[in-house]
């Protein structure tokens, strides 16, 4: 899983059936200290994350099927949590 910030959204009407009712958010990877890395990607939302939220993003297929409760969907990146705070030992 990686830490990211929601920076946008994708609206799409022509898509794979498993994505039909899913919200697609644009997330930018953050370092563990919360600094943007400039590396962005799309992720399926499963926790109603909003723009500007710091989120936890799953980046692995088999669990994506469990979280979206779909049978073997072509989905890899799923937002699985909204992060309240991160403590890093200095």
Partner 1 sequence: MHLCRVIGTVWATVKVDTLTGYRLLVVQPVSHDLTEKGYPVVAVDTVSAAPGQLVYIVKSREASKALEEPFNPVDAAIVGIVDELRTSS
Provide the binding-site residues for partner 1, judged by CB under 8 A: 7-16, 19, 24, 26, 28, 36, 38-44, 51-52, 61, 64, 72-77
Fill in the DSSP letter of residue 23: E
Minimum CB distance to partner 1 smaller for 8 or for 32 = 8
What's the Rg (C-alpha) of the chain? 13
Query: How many CA atoms does the CB half-sphere of 45 hold within 13 Å?
Result: 23
CB of 90 to partner 1, least distance (A): 27
CB of 37 to partner 1, least distance (A): 11
Fill in the DSSP letter of residue 20: T
CB of 66 to partner 1, least distance (A): 13
Question: Strand 23-30 vs strand 54-59: parallel, antiparallel, or unpaired?
Answer: unpaired
């Amino acid at each position: 899983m990686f830490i990211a910030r929601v920076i946008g959204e994708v609206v799409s009407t022509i898509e794979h059936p498993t994505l039909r009712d899913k919200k697609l958010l644009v997330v930018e990877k953050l370092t563990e200290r919360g600094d943007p890395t400039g590396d962005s990607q799309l992720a399926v939302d499963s926790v109603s994350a909003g723009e500007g939220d710091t989120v936890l993003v799953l980046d692995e297929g088999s669990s994506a099927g469990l979280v979206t409760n779909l049978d073997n969907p072509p989905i890899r990146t799923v937002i699985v949590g909204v992060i309240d705070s991160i403590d890093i030992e200095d």
